Structure 1
């Protein structure tokens, strides 16, 4: 892996901090969609296949792969022939499988080593199990499945088959996220008392026909944006919740089982020590597909942040796909004057969260130790608490898959 490279700035940019910031953002955005080819590609790269011509696939895998010396996308599968062909042509993918058996055709392809599964949530379990049965490693979009039991079975099967299965919480691999965790764990902001995490967007982005509004496919905002806020809260606390204190879902008459908005408060265990968890530590989650306009017509600004409060200050995080900022306010002692600063940790020039995720995955597949990783239990626990939140809202868990799939011998 390349050493982190400082981002370039225009001449005399130190005199113009706003212009420097804007220049850096534009450059990162450009490189995210136009990544430079690797300097020394390997002769036998890992070969990826994509299940479904999903809109997230280019940013999540195709563009990062173009920048990695040891990876290539060899095939895509979509049930619609025209869609499969158009997607393959647009992104320079050699093979396009289509028709009713398209997904299985891709899994049967001996030239595919790793499968990326960005299918609707309700299809994650079926096609991940089938990919593992075909001997393929899997990069699985979040949330891992509709239920924790399905997640448990997938990871058990992957372990039995000696294959790598990774849930694609890409934010976790970025150096900025790990820097935030480092600040929290250092004790600089004192004993943790509150965590707040929000991902909410204004009306107009998630339409009625969106798959995220389909109950049978695992729809709902807690499954989509909510899984990130829950994962972040668990990661920053360094502990698992003890209970769901409260949870409330916003629904619509035509989508009675779908949470378009959800708020939840979770309790965490108390741990002694200046850098531990305070008695009564809580995490508040706030997610929404359709934030209502202010005054009936003014669109709300998206809410995308995590904030950790301690007895000696706070740390707030915005980002980090191609932009982020960490804002820290802390004092040397409880009740003392607060000092404020901001930090940024981009690392390698032009690398998005997805590029860092790909680096870790390939390191793992090649037998190297990734800079960051999380295990099966992390993914299982996240689904357990998503289900607990849904239970508290009264909506209940998303429906389990009824597909016939292979099983691990121990399950």
Structure 2
């Protein structure tokens, strides 16, 4: 009963966050590009209990949709129709832009937002290619602006706790990582933007960026090669990976108690997991499991630990010794809330408790592209949009 109460309370507070006790007289003013479904939980709700942030405007290609979104979420300004995104960028009352547009539009509108002098909180994956990501971050540096790829799970205490367990040496030398984010058929429809190649569609782009990111984070290192990669293809979408499984080689874990050169990570991403036995529906598969010479740790539901999660640890005092099992939970704040806190701190010139930098985002895209190359599908298309001329490009 206590766990059920805790679950209900967590969900309630996510959608009904308390107002800040002492709101700032001049908070950072956010504008949202596109009336995306993720925007309320990723930004609008966290902003409501932050003393130094406010959502000031939203832009959508359709004025009616912009108006409806603004009314529903109490946003003062709604830009719609032709040129709506640029109108928001030109608004002098906007300090920061949140960009949750389709993947293939990330590069164009982030570059234009930076050109307009706006800081940017950018949804993942950062762009369609590593080169585009590199250019964006160089441009942000050139302009003296903050750009952050919104891997919110990195800011959640459950993720940080798993990293602590690994770095403590409790599991011995890390030898294997397995990470998965996959959903059964029915979640991603044929008309979903994730199925559109020109918009940067594909399971490795959309879901796979999470298992790749957390594997790199927990390994404390970047891959050295793609050992294997295979994509599931549907005849209706020949350029889209409905699912991808890839195995990467990593160097030895930094900080482990002994040298080891056999660390591998296997990643799973899938839009349409097939039913078991041909008819039994599957549960979504969202977990990361790390194995070492003295034990394992598994974080269940790492992309959404605020809903529920469990950290299961099995370890021994020495290799081959009896395993001791325990389960931990570390809810704390919503990942998006702590991400916003870190982002605002960075903008205000303070040092965030946690941060991931430009190179982290560039490297993630490099290995997404490397996996696509190995599957034979190749990278997603490079943006052909006209973007501001800079020394970075």
Aligned counterparts, 1:9-408, within 5 A: 19-270=1-252, 274-275=256-257, 278-319=260-301, 320-347=305-332, 351-408=333-390
SS in 1 for 2:36: coil
Structure 2 unaligned regions, length at least 5: none
Tell me how far apart the structure 2 counterparts of residues 189 and 104 of structure 1 sit (CA, whole Å).
Answer: 51
CA distance in 2 between partners of 1:105 and 1:410 (Å): 25
Report deviation, 1:274: 4.5
Whether contact under 8 Å (1:153, 1:407) holds in the other structure is: no
User: What SS does the corresponding residue of 2:263 show, helix, strand or coil?
Assistant: strand
Alpha-carbon distance in structure 2 between the residues aligned to 1:37 and 1:283? 42
Does structure 1 conserve the Cα–Cα contact (< 8 Å) formed by 2:245 and 2:267?
yes
Contact 2:221 2:253 in 1 (8 A): no
SS of the aligned residue for 1:157 comes to: helix
Which residue in the other structure is 1:15 paired with? Answer: none
C-alpha RMSD of matched pairs (Å)? 1.1
- Following superposition, the deviation at residue 272 of structure 1 comes to 8.3
TM-score scaled by structure 2?
0.97
SS at match of 1:285: strand
Residue 160 of structure 1 aligns to a residue whose secondary structure is: helix
The 1:81/1:276 distance shift into structure 2, 3 A limit, reads farther
Contact 1:41–1:69 (Cα < 8 Å) also in 2: yes
Q: Which runs of 5+ in 1 are unaligned?
A: 1-18
Q: 1:175, CA displacement in angstroms?
A: 1.4
Q: Distance in 2 between matches of 1:118 and 1:277?
A: 41
Shift of 1:273: 7.2
SS of 2:341 mapped into structure 1: helix
Residue aligned with 1:378, SS:
helix
Length, aligned pairs only: 390
Alpha-carbon shift at residue 187 of structure 1 (Å): 0.4
* 8 A contact 1:266–1:282 mirrored in 2: yes
- Please state whether the residue corresponding to 1:278 is helix, strand or coil: coil
- What do residues 93-137 of structure 1 show as CA deviations (whole Å, max 9, x unaligned)? 000001110000000000000000000000000000000000000
Measured against aligned partners, the alpha-carbon deviations of 1:110-167 in whole angstroms (never above 9, x if no partner) come to 0000000000000000000000000000000000000000000000000000000000
Alpha-carbon separation, structure 2, partners of 1:272 and 1:183: 14
- Is residue 185–residue 275 contact of structure 1 (8 Å, CA) maintained in 2? no
Return the alpha-carbon distance in structure 2 between the equivalents of residues 312 and 257 of structure 1.
Answer: 42
CA distance in 1, matches of 2:264, 2:62: 46
